[in-house]
Chain A
Amino acid sequence: MAGKVLTITSGKGGVGKSTTSANLALGLALSGKKVVAIDLDIGLRNLDMILGLENRIVYDVVNIVEKTCKLNQALIKDKRTENLFLIAAAQTRDKSAVTSEQIKELAEELKKDYDYIILDSPAGIEGGFKNAMEPADEVIIVTTPEISAVRDADRVIGILEANSKTETNLIINRIDPTLVKRGDMMSKDDVLQVLSIPLIGIIPEDKNIVSYTNIGEPSILHKDSKSGMAYKNIIQRLLGKNVEFMEITEDKKGFFQNLVSLFKE
């Protein structure tokens, strides 16, 4: 097997890298791919919580590269699918505890047995980002339609180009149709005109994500979730299918629904 390293990065913090990593990892696994997700945000472990696997962690990525455990011992099996494993970030160390060479070596090893190695990058453009960027075969840049996130994404795109990373795609996260309609948020097309890299997904603002994270079940597991649907589309595109981009529109409340919410208050 010759797996692929897919890095999820952004420049700006808090735009949805880990949420995206969790959903893509789980979604690809549920479509039958063998997946390892690696949390490279060392010192600020997150992916384990989003995936609901925090109680299973014994060893982490630093243990692997320092060879204080075997690779197999640090692979945490998902509860829902046989196809997904997590390698957690170390919580008591910092980004300098691993080098990009070590991550590259680990990724090469994993490529033999897995279809996708998903690297959840920390924010920024320093060491931790480089650890995630350098081993990448493909990169997904996550941004929101906010001016500072887009600016930082552009910077990251420039760095990726300079490092000959040519397989790069964009996810625009947290699109709020009400704000776009009012002219107070850049639309998908506005962001694309500024950044000009291929788009692989648009995710709506989804108030339910907080509760999905609370219980460790990413959107993709929830049937009626709009963000889950958006992530499912991205997975289809990663698997080479041509799926139209969803329209992100305001929830239309009918007269009856309005009436119901009136009484609910």
Chain B
Amino acid sequence: MFFDFFKKNKKTSAEQAKERLRIILAHERAENKAPFLDDLRKDIIEVIAKYIDIDPKSININLQKDQSIEVLEINIPIK
């Protein structure tokens, strides 16, 4: 009984493979499309930090394709 319960909630290995691929490929596609993202992040942190106190880890940079428009989204939470 206990094992049955356990089994039902566990994803099959194929489902896990698909999930892992979804996540890693979303990341790799963005990286390959815009290899400058990492450098951009560093530059932005450097510039902003001159003026405001920020947490470098909380900066979120995203290149997204929304139907036909590409959007570069930069989120900088201020401390």
Contacts and interface: CB of A to CB of B under 8 A. Distances in A.
B68 interface: no
A186 B20 CA distance: 12
A185 B14 contact: yes
A180 B22 CA distance: 19
Interface stretch (A8-16, A51-59, A65-73, A148-156): A148-156
Interface string A177-213: 0001011111100100110000000000000000000
A32 interface: no
Contact of A150 (B12, B21, B29, B32): B21
A147 interface: yes
A151 B18 contact: no
A158 interface: yes
Given A151-B24, A194-B25, A186 B32 contact: no
A154 B28 contact: yes
B15 A183 contact: yes
A147 B29 contact: no
Contact of A154 (B12, B13, B14, B29): B29
A150 B25 CA distance: 10
B27 to A, nearest CB: 11
Contact of B17 (A147, A154, A158, A162): A147
Interface in B19-38: 20-22, 24-25, 28-29, 32-33
Contacts, number: 41
What does DSSP make chain B's interface, helix, strand, loop or mixed? helix
Q: Place the interface of chain A in its size category.
A: 10 to 19
B32 A184 contact: no
Contact of B28 (A155, A186, A187, A193): A155
Contacts of A186: 14, 17-18
A63 to B, nearest CB: 37
Q: Which of A186, A193, A194 has the most CB of B within 10 A?
A: A186
B30 to A, nearest CB: 11
B13 A184 contact: yes
Interface string A127-171: 000000000000000000001001100110010001000000000
B14 A194 contact: no
Interface of B: 12-15, 17-18, 20-22, 24-25, 28-29, 32-33
Interface of A: 147, 150-151, 154-155, 158, 162, 180, 182-187, 190, 193-194
21 contacts: A147-B20, A147-B21, A151-B24, A154-B21, A154-B29, A155-B28, A155-B32, A158-B28, A158-B33, A162-B32, A180-B14, A182-B12, A183-B15, A184-B12, A184-B14, A185-B14, A190-B14, A190-B18, A193-B18, A194-B22, A194-B25
